[in-house]
Structure 1
Amino acid sequence: MHGIRNSGNSLRSIGFALLLVSGTAHAQTKPAAAPPAPQPAGPKLSIEGSVRARMEGIDGQFRPKVDNSIAFASLRTLVAAKLDWGDLNLTGELLDARGYGEGHNSSVKASDVNTVEPLQAFVSYKLHNVIGKKDSLTAIAGRFTMTFGAQRLIARADFGNTFPSYLGGRVEYRTKKKDELVLFWTHPIDALPNSADGIYDNKVELDHVNTGTVFYGADGNLADIGHKLSVGGYVYRLAEQDRPGYQTRDRRLVTFGLRLRRAPAKSKFDIEGEAALQRGEARVTNAVTDRKDLPVRAGFVHIEGGYTIAKKWTPRISGFFDYASGDGANPAYGRFDSLYGARRADYGPASLFGPVGLANLVSPGIRIEAKPSKRLDLMGAVRGLWLADRTDTFAFTSVRDKTGASGRHAGTEVEMRVRRSLIPDRLRAEIGAAYLAKGRFLTSAPNAPHSGDARYGYADLVFKF
């Protein structure tokens, strides 16, 4: 009841704040005196948002030292307000993400609960015809979220209950042909609360700007180099250091990669590929006693090809392969770091589930997608799971066998998803399930839980306004 009362109070506070903003915006636009004289146009205020309710549960836990069965109910509210003076814009967004019923020994973490948080607050200004006709250059400063490419390394992914955000600046250049180049310099923001009690109690605690960490880089994309094929590239730099009361792995990483894509279309083959290398230095742990900086030699590859059949339901059948390096006997540190990326699009549901991701992974698979109608879409996928290095932790499971005696086979993951628009652009329902048939590694590694195969399911209801 305490969490419910807090939710009600926070929503009333959000509504009150928005009314104040609305009143201020209208107060700035004064009626013209008679006879009318030219007056500068007042700002246009727009408000939009969403409320998502989710129920999910897992049984047959794959993580060590966590409850075998967990049920979790979450409520995520987003309200965004924008004051638009044409090329000058002020944008703010509030996030209220709460969870209930998970228990004290669950896998729920700070990325699942973040109450009454100003997720975005930034100013942007757009210039036109900077280099060529109909191009634009937009400068953004403040707190914001980001998404690049297929979301594997930097993402604002909708499946999660919260989103990574950053404080800093960003410059975006776009041409008439939709080619683009983005430069950014930021401090990542640490989500709070991050203690088990604070998360369980839905404690209201403002996030912390991580001034000890700098994240910056460039991301570019050519929209069409021929045959509707887009090509992009990026370089990201992450540099972190310890500060009082906050220990890090002192990662100093440079990640550079290339991607290409031909979007799905009826009666057409589509392709997607992305590869990245990671270099720099890092420590194995964030322990105070760990002072050894190791050279980093890591990377990942994603390859996917599909075909869309121009028949009823327009089914698309695709095959894919993922590789992400793990840390082995080599003196260099070899485990790939997926930075601030998302996992849902490629690797299955996250939140209580999410065993698979871009770390110590070898995984081929197939996926089938279909749209029986404009308001209904279906998806199913199956993938095999192996370790790139048998002595490292497998993906995001926290299961490890340092001797390598448990082999490389982690199992097979199957997932399905059904989405239905109940009221177009307003109300949507989604249900999904995933099954992890554990292989030898996830059943015989020294710290693997003896809990049988993992079963996960969820149901969402999303209202947009």
Structure 2
Amino acid sequence: MSLDRVGGGQRVRSGPGATFRPSSRSGRAVRLGLLLSCLPLAWTGAPAAHAQEAETSAPEPAPHHPLSLTGSMRVRYEALRGQAHAGFPDTDSLLSIRTTVLLAYAQDRLRAGVELQDSRGYFGKRGGEVSANDVNAFEWIQAYAGLTVGSEGLVRIGRVKFDVGSRRLVAAHDYRNTASAFTGLVATLPASGGTATLFYTLPQQHRPDDQDAVLANRVQWDHEGFDLQFWGTHLAGVPIGSGTLDIGYFGLNERDTPDRPTRNRKLHSLDLRLADAPGRDGADFELEAVYQFGSIRADTTADAAELPVSAWFVHAAAGYRFPGAPHARVSLTYDQASGDGSGGRYGRFDTLFGARRSDLGPGAIYGAVGRANILTPSVRLEVTPNQRLDGFLAYRAMWLDSRTDSFSTTAVRDASGGSGRFAGHQVEGRVRWWLLPHRAQLELNAAWLKKGRFLKEAPNAPSTGDTLYGAVSLSIPFGSVVQKR
């Protein structure tokens, strides 16, 4: 069994001769997961007499009740043909079911919450893309206590999930079937006309992470420990001219454990962002730059050389939203993330715990385009005809930043640099439609990766043709106030 680390998670390959032996415990876990998956359906199964009310309103917790119970269930089927990742089968598919239940308490200044997320996958292919990033059965992703500070501040301690700034370095993932959660202290405080976030955490490391256990939806508590520490400070939304300024620092310290060798990442990331919110009519813009330094091992062996890190990422976007329906917005974007080259330094950018969906395309079993060794301009059209329907269509061309490093997150590489830098074209789109407002949402995602010279000619490039990906999902949120007795 071999493990390939991707960002803050792991992508798992199955070794030759792997066998699947579901245990009685995994059978109980499957039955428990299916039971959890039915909860939202039972919750939202209102009589026909209430159908009109469900069309026009969502459950709103009354302010005088301190307890609320909310959650959601999402069922998604996704399929892929023409694999772009090295070392995986030509085709892949996955039926995933994600159920979340959050019990929250808010009274005076006190805040508390516990959230269970049950992320399961079915019919995944052994040796395929399915990993611990897709399946994490029956896990407490939040369990915290907190206090409000002033009118807008909040300090939480325990296991939490949170977003920071543009979400490109820290995000509570949504498209991905599993969450990024952290155990520690997170404080969000008003400062300088904006919001300051300070945190010191131990990131959640999904368990189990071997593919047989993942495919069996085996239940095992996730691991946090001082072998992986993540901390930082971030100031967001400070008014400057017609826009806002974000500035932040993020630190990551990783070390081996007796049973898990790592590359001992010691990374420091400096983030600067200037943006004009795109929510209004007219022109908008965004500029973000991240510089990353520190050290990393050349590989996971204990005596591997330690390399200095010098990596970077930039994002630039300009858009225009037209007044009136369908509220169309057209934008041009440019993203570039450094790759590893020669010269004794490590140059591949690490996106840490960031989300990719909003910028670069679907993750999950597609996940071919990420924030590493890529140079990509794109054009995008977004429309929101009404409150129930929205969608977008985007095109991008893609090159490698470093021709000797693997392209983005595909693991396709030509160490000689002889396969050029052009990776190909990607066309992707999404449509979301509320079948019942606030009760049931249908979502369609699709992507076409037309492979360029590099993804065809590199020594380990899969000879699978262009990549086609599609996904359809149904999401059902639910919620209620827990009545006092």
For normalisation by structure 2, the TM-score amounts to 0.86
Aligned 8 A contact 2:30 2:217 in 1 = no
**2:175 counterpart of 1:153:** no
1:197 to 203, 209, 212: 212
Match of 2:188 in 1: 172
**2:84 counterpart of 1:68:** no
**2:250 counterpart of 1:236:** yes
Matches within 5 A, 1:56-455: 56-128=78-150, 134=151, 136-174=152-190, 179-227=194-242, 229-290=243-304, 292-455=305-468
- Cα distance 1:11–1:124, how it changes in 2: closer, same or farther (>3 A)? farther
Q: CA–CA distance in 2 between the matches of 1:460 and 1:260?
A: 34
Q: CA–CA distance in 2 between the matches of 1:252 and 1:370?
A: 42
Output one character per residue of 1:37-92: Cα deviation in whole Å (capped at 9) or x when no partner: xxxxx972100000000000000001122111111100000000012222111100
Q: CA–CA distance in 1 between the matches of 2:245 and 2:287?
A: 10
Q: CA–CA distance in 2 between the matches of 1:178 and 1:332?
A: 39
- Cα distance 1:300–1:267, how it changes in 2: closer, same or farther (>3 A)? same
Displacement after TM superposition at 1:234 (Å): 0.4
Q: RMSD of aligned C-alpha atoms? A: 2.0
Q: Which runs of 5+ in 1 are unaligned?
A: 17-41, 129-133
Matches within 5 A, 1:38-53: 44-53=66-75
Match of 1:22 in 2: none
Q: CA–CA distance in 2 between the matches of 1:428 and 1:4?
A: 30
- Return the letter of the residue paired with 1:171: A
Match of 2:61 in 1: none
- Return the letter of the residue paired with 1:323: Q
Q: CA–CA distance in 2 between the matches of 1:289 and 1:331?
A: 17
Q: Which runs of 5+ in 2 are unaligned?
A: 1-21, 40-63, 479-485
Q: CA–CA distance in 1 between the matches of 2:361 and 2:107?
A: 41
Q: CA–CA distance in 2 between the matches of 1:63 and 1:156?
A: 25
Q: CA–CA distance in 1 between the matches of 2:324 and 2:109?
A: 44
SS state at 1:208 partner = coil
Aligned 8 A contact 1:45 1:81 in 2 = yes
For normalisation by structure 1, the TM-score amounts to 0.89
- Return the letter of the residue paired with 1:192: R
Displacement after TM superposition at 1:193 (Å): 1.3
Radius of gyration: which is bigger? Answer: 1
Output one character per residue of 1:14-43: Cα deviation in whole Å (capped at 9) or x when no partner: 999xxxxxxxxxxxxxxxxxxxxxxxxx97
Q: CA–CA distance in 2 between the matches of 1:266 and 1:85?
A: 35
Q: CA–CA distance in 2 between the matches of 1:142 and 1:78?
A: 18
Q: Which moved more, 1:142-151 or 1:380-389?
A: 142-151
Q: CA–CA distance in 2 between the matches of 1:127 and 1:435?
A: 47
- Return the letter of the residue paired with 2:114: G
Q: CA–CA distance in 2 between the matches of 1:103 and 1:138?
A: 43
Q: CA–CA distance in 2 between the matches of 1:116 and 1:448?
A: 37
Q: CA–CA distance in 2 between the matches of 1:458 and 1:15?
A: 21
- Cα distance 1:186–1:423, how it changes in 2: closer, same or farther (>3 A)? same
Q: Which moved more, 1:264-273 or 1:89-98?
A: 264-273
Displacement after TM superposition at 1:393 (Å): 0.7
Aligned 8 A contact 2:330 2:380 in 1 = yes
Aligned 8 A contact 2:183 2:224 in 1 = yes
SS state at 1:190 partner = coil
Q: CA–CA distance in 1 between the matches of 2:292 and 2:38?
A: 45
SS state at 1:224 partner = strand
Q: CA–CA distance in 1 between the matches of 2:213 and 2:108?
A: 42
- Return the letter of the residue paired with 2:87: K
Aligned 8 A contact 2:320 2:329 in 1 = yes
Aligned 8 A contact 1:347 1:354 in 2 = no
Q: CA–CA distance in 1 between the matches of 2:220 and 2:123?
A: 20
Q: CA–CA distance in 2 between the matches of 1:282 and 1:325?
A: 16
Q: CA–CA distance in 2 between the matches of 1:100 and 1:77?
A: 14
Output one character per residue of 1:191-232: Cα deviation in whole Å (capped at 9) or x when no partner: 0110011011000111011321211110111343332x1110
Output one character per residue of 1:274-301: Cα deviation in whole Å (capped at 9) or x when no partner: 10100111113223442x1101011000
Identity of paired residues, percent? 38
Q: CA–CA distance in 1 between the matches of 2:383 and 2:65?
A: 43
- Return the letter of the residue paired with 1:162: T
Q: CA–CA distance in 1 between the matches of 2:414 and 2:400?
A: 11
Q: CA–CA distance in 2 between the matches of 1:156 and 1:186?
A: 14
- Return the letter of the residue paired with 2:205: D
- Return the letter of the residue paired with 1:150: S
Whose relative contact order is higher, 1 or 2, with alpha carbons under 8 Å and at least 6 apart? 2
Displacement after TM superposition at 1:271 (Å): 0.4
Q: CA–CA distance in 2 between the matches of 1:266 and 1:14?
A: 38
- Cα distance 1:259–1:56, how it changes in 2: closer, same or farther (>3 A)? same
- Return the letter of the residue paired with 1:174: P
Aligned 8 A contact 1:151 1:157 in 2 = no
- Cα distance 1:298–1:99, how it changes in 2: closer, same or farther (>3 A)? same
Output one character per residue of 1:382-431: Cα deviation in whole Å (capped at 9) or x when no partner: 00000000000110001000000000000001001111011111110000
Aligned 8 A contact 1:248 1:286 in 2 = yes
Aligned 8 A contact 2:37 2:98 in 1 = no
For these two proteins, the number of residue pairs brought into alignment is 432
Aligned 8 A contact 2:164 2:197 in 1 = no
Aligned 8 A contact 1:81 1:92 in 2 = yes
- Return the letter of the residue paired with 2:146: S
